[in-house]
């Protein structure tokens, strides 16, 4: 377990090229762990360019590695540094390894990418394994459709790391929704490492100063959110057309564009929204849970974090999942719609305002998620805490033989 000490240390890696999903999931887990374990510190490794815009609780901190961005061609390039991408990746890998060596964590949780971005965490995994650090791969409920995921993981040579390095694979969801590794031929030993935790419950933050909120949140409103916003232009366009077409829709709306939406489109959308009396529009808010909690309903794209917030805060939701470049959102949302947890509207590429307006009019009469019983749906953070507990004992307990990690069905 490394050096004997009275504190527990958890290192979380989030590869983050663009978007907010990975960072927000890791931050949620980190905050839950320091709330549960008073002697634990959590350090997040992230490439997110806006990680500093978020609040972090005491005993949670971050190290930002140089950012990279994925181009439409599928290749990566440096986000800010005037460096070749290979040099940037070498720099990132060196920072990650050195941080892990000095921090000496009891657990290392890798989010989504088993080898890290272009294999950048492999050396760190190999460094920590002989030290006795518990190595965990954390996966969201859906990765992609099997026909694309199988060749991707084969190309990345993921299997040896799953078999030889990782101790556990946590899936932040339920098999009733999806098996993220469906279609991948895995040895039974790897399958036995898989633990379904349930979805990660979200709450409105109560620590720190209350966030400043738009005036529209003082009355019933719809929250329209695109997450990071890099691929959210279609949703905003469709909702704007609906309000331009039918100004008497049941609720006024607050549109959150996302910090990664193209500036030209942001400006266009803000100009159109300014002409409509019942729309307000902002680029980003670092307390999105608060906006969700105060909303009468949510219109969104169906990313993992938004889905968890809709379920946790029991909001009627209309979800328009993206289908490019991955079917992740569509798989998640279509299954949830079959269960009756949310309503889904397929993106047909035409963005007929009457179609969106009709869906928005149906929203107030649909079921809340709490009216649908799915056992274990939102127990993810509790189960993560139980899985973590054996590996962050005090110095006295750490000197004993570690207990078996509990298995959650």
Domain boundaries, the chain: 8-201+379-398, 215-371
- Cα separation, 135 vs 105, whole angstroms: 10
Q: What pLDDT sits at residue 374?
A: 94
Which whole-number Å values give the CA distances from 167 to 121, 130, 191, 194, 232, in the listed order? 15, 12, 11, 9, 37
Q: How confident is the model at residue 72 (pLDDT cuts 50, 70, 90)?
A: low
Report, as an integer, the average pLDDT of 183-199.
Answer: 93
Report, as an integer, the average pLDDT of 280-304.
Answer: 93
Q: What pLDDT sits at residue 320?
A: 97
**Do the two domains 8-201+379-398 and 215-371 of this chain adopt the same fold?**
yes
**Does 146 score more than 60 pLDDT?**
yes
**Does 409 score more than 50 pLDDT?**
no
Q: How confident is the model at residue 397 (pLDDT cuts 50, 70, 90)?
A: low
**Does 254 score more than 90 pLDDT?**
yes
**Does 170 score more than 90 pLDDT?**
yes
Report, as an integer, the average pLDDT of 56-80.
Answer: 81
**Does 78 score more than 90 pLDDT?**
no
**Does 48 score more than 90 pLDDT?**
no
Burial annotation 79-98 (CB, 10 A radius, 16+ → b, else e): eeeeeebeebbebbbebbbe
**Does 338 score more than 80 pLDDT?**
yes
Can you name the residues that pair with 78 across neighbouring β-strands? 68
Average pLDDT, the chain: 89
**In percent, how much of the chain has pLDDT > 90?**
69
Report, as an integer, the average pLDDT of 135-149.
Answer: 90
pLDDT tens digits along 373-395: 999 999 999 999 999 999 987 43
Domain 215-371: CATH class, spelled out: alpha beta
Q: What pLDDT sits at residue 17?
A: 62
pLDDT tens digits along 97-108: 999 999 999 999
Q: How confident is the model at residue 188 (pLDDT cuts 50, 70, 90)?
A: very high
The bridge status of strand 279-282 relative to strand 297-300 is unpaired
Report, as an integer, the average pLDDT of 9-34.
Answer: 88
**Does 134 score more than 80 pLDDT?**
yes
Q: What pLDDT sits at residue 161?
A: 96
Q: How confident is the model at residue 228 (pLDDT cuts 50, 70, 90)?
A: confident
**Does 4 score more than 70 pLDDT?**
no
pTM of this structure: 0.88
**Does 399 score more than 50 pLDDT?**
no
Q: What pLDDT sits at residue 31?
A: 96
Q: What pLDDT sits at residue 364?
A: 96
Report, as an integer, the average pLDDT of 9-37.
Answer: 89
Q: What pLDDT sits at residue 406?
A: 43
Q: Which listed CATH number (3.30.390.10, 3.40.50.2000, 3.40.605.10, 3.30.930.10) goes with 8-201+379-398?
A: 3.40.50.2000
CA angle in degrees (0–180, nearest 5) for 84-74-13? 70
φ, ψ for residue 140 (rounded to 5)?
-70, 175
């Amino acid at each position: 377990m490394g050096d004997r000490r009275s504190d527990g240390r958890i290192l979380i890696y989030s590869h983050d090229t663009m978007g907010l999903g990975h960072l927000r999931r890791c931050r949620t887990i980190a905050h839950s762990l320091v709330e549960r374990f008073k002697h634990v510190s959590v350090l997040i490794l992230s490439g997110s360019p806006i990680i500093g815009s978020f609040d972090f609780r005491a005993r949670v901190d971050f190290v930002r590695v140089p950012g990279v961005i994925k181009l439409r061609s599928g290749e990566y390039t440096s986000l800010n540094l005037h460096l070749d991408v290979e040099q940037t990746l070498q720099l990132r890998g060196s920072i990650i390894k050195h941080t892990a060596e000095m921090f000496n964590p009891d657990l290392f949780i890798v989010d989504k990418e088993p080898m890290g971005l272009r294999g950048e965490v492999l050396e760190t995994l190999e460094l920590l394994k002989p030290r006795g650090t518990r190595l965990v791969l954390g996966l969201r409920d859906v990765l992609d459709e099997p026909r694309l995921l199988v060749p991707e993981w084969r190309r990345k040579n993921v299997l040896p790391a799953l078999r030889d390095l990782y101790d556990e694979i946590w899936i932040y969801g339920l098999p009733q929704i999806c098996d993220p590794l469906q279609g991948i031929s895995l040895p039974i030993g790897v399958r036995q490492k898989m633990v379904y935790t349930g979805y990660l419950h979200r709450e409105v933050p109560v620590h720190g100063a209350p966030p400043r909120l738009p005036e529209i949140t003082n009355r019933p409103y719809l929250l329209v959110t695109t997450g990071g916003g890099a691929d959210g232009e279609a949703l905003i366009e469709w909702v704007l057309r609906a309000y331009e077409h039918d100004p008497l829709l049941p609720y006024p709306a607050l549109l959150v564009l996302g910090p990664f939406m193209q500036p030209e489109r942001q400006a266009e959308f803000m100009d159109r929204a300014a002409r409509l009396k019942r729309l307000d529009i902002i680029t980003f808010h670092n307390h999105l849970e608060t906006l969700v909690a105060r909303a009468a309903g949510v219109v969104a794209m169906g990313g993992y974090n938004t889905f968890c917030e809709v379920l946790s805060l029991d909001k009627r939701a209309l979800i328009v999942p993206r289908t490019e470049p991955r079917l992740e959102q569509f798989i998640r949302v279509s299954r949830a719609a079959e269960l009756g947890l949310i309503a889904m509207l397929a993106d047909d590429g035409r963005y007929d305002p009457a179609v969106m307006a009709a869906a928005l009019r149906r929203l107030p009469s649909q079921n809340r998620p709490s009216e649908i019983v799915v056992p274990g749906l939102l127990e993810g953070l509790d189960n993560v805490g139980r899985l973590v507990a054996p590996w962050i004992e005090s110095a006295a307990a750490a000197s004993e033989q570690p207990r078996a990690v509990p298995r959650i069905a």
